[in-house]
Amino acid sequence: MKKFNVQSTIMDAASRIRASSIAWMAWLVVSLWRRSIKSRFVNREVPQRFNAEGKNVIFAFFHGDLLALLYAHREAGVLILASESRDGEIMSRLLGHLGFEAVRGSSKRNGHKALLSLIRGMRRGKTVAIAVDGPRGPLHEVKTGALFLAGISKAPIIPVAAAAKKYTVVERSWDKLVIPAPFTECLVQFGDPIYVNNASSDEIESAQRKLEADLRRLTREVALLGSAGGVRGRT
């Protein structure tokens, strides 16, 4: 019979309560913050076309753009991969408050379990969003998880990048997290869809190079558009 560890159970419960409390407070702050943000979109017709056809997609973005992208896909029930760390627990609860659905796991911990959860979600018609250089970098280097998922599901990958007119960069974070200033404007740019025909190593490697190149290019382009005043689009 498995021994019941009272101390460990109490500590786990305390940790969950702490994560829930922090996530709730963060939700209040983020909710007020994001209501002040105006978002503009470039090439939004790309994901809208698939949505009109009833097809789900895999959004691929760099981890540092997470906050700038939250508003763009709020309340859409998008599945987002979150790490199994303590920070990941807080983030998954915060994402839930914001209308997202978090799947716990990473390339280092429970990767297969997370992949199966994402596949099941896609079979339910869910769209997936993955920070492809997460969970811990290196910065702007694409991992293979999203590509493997695309090869299995046959869903297209849509690269997406964001920029804000006024922002702060968390320089100490590995992802150089961008925090848009309140009452600023964010620009969100979608790239062309990338298809992964199968899950073979050669196909994954080829798509990985293309996705990384496309995301880096989008990141540069959206930064230039944002600094130039953005483009006209829908909020």
Per residue in 204-224, pLDDT (tens digit) is 999 999 999 999 999 999 999
pLDDT digits (tens, 9 = 90+) for 150-187: 999 999 999 999 999 999 999 999 999 998 999 999 99
Q: Which of 131, 230, 115 lies closest to 174, judged by CA?
A: 131
- Angle value at C-alpha 140, between 170 and 235, nearest 5 degrees: 70
Determine the Cα–Cα distance for residues 7 and 215; give it in Å rounded to an integer.
Answer: 46
pLDDT of residue 13: 46
Q: Compute the 3-state secondary structure of the chain and give helix, strand, coil in percent, each to the nearest 5.
A: 45, 20, 35
Name which of 77-86, 120-129, 183-192 the model is least confident about: 77-86
Q: Distance between alpha carbon 31 and the CA centroid of its chain, in Å?
A: 18
CA contacts within 13 A on the Cβ side of 58: 29
Q: Which of 102, 16, 115, 108 lies closest to 66, judged by CA?
A: 102
pLDDT of residue 200: 96
pLDDT of residue 154: 95
Is residue 158 helix, strand or coil? strand
CB atoms within 10 A of CB 18: 13
CB proximity list for 19: less than 8 A, separation 6 or greater: 86, 89, 90, 93
Residue 231 pLDDT level (bands cut at 50, 70, 90): very low
Residue 44 pLDDT level (bands cut at 50, 70, 90): very high
The percent of residues in the chain predicted with pLDDT above 90, rounded, is: 54
Q: Which of 162, 190, 57, 80 lies closest to 129, judged by CA?
A: 80
Is residue 167 helix, strand or coil? strand
Two tokens, residue 194: 């990338």
Residue 233 has pLDDT above 80, yes or no: no
